[in-house]
Amino acid sequence: MRHRPNKALIELRHLYRLEGETIFIYPGKERQSDKFDETKTITMLSPIPVKALVKDFSPKALVWKDYGVKEIGAKQVMVEPQNKSLIENCVKLIIRDEEYTVFKDAASSKLQIWKQHDFILFISEKI
């Protein structure tokens, strides 16, 4: 018996190809300025254009699911898995000419990134 592909996954890939938009990811490089004061300097590198599917996040979902995210202007972004390292090193995002940052959980300061089907999802909040 042949393996049949998941119909929802095929539709999701089709939607990604048709309605995906270009976002700009600014990776950052962290350097310790003074080892005695433990101050760090973050340098923004050149932006990298990435195709993504962007969805607005409702305030109701943000309040109940992710404590600490700003209620207005948050987005859920879906990118291909090869861009995961870019997201992890991201300092700033430009989505539809507005600046965003990748949301980090307030308790553990870890990025809110998860894998769903064949894509990587993350939450971004407005700067």
Number of H helices, E strands in the chain: 3, 8
What is the structure's pLDDT at 64?
44
Three-state SS at 90: strand
What is the structure's pLDDT at 2?
63
What is the domain range of residue 108? 7-126
Q: Are strands 39-44 and 21-34 parallel, antiparallel or unpaired?
A: antiparallel
What is the structure's pLDDT at 36?
79
CATH classification of the domain holding 23: 2.40.10
- Structurally, the chain folds into a number of domains equal to 1
The token duo for 46 is: 């050149």
Q: Which residue has the tokens 């995906």?
A: 20
Residues of the chain with pLDDT under 50: 63-64, 107
Within-domain flag for 54 = yes
Within-domain flag for 2 = no
What is the structure's pLDDT at 104?
63
Over residues 68-86, the pLDDT tens digits come to: 555 567 788 889 889 888 8
Please tell me the pTM assigned to this model.
Answer: 0.73
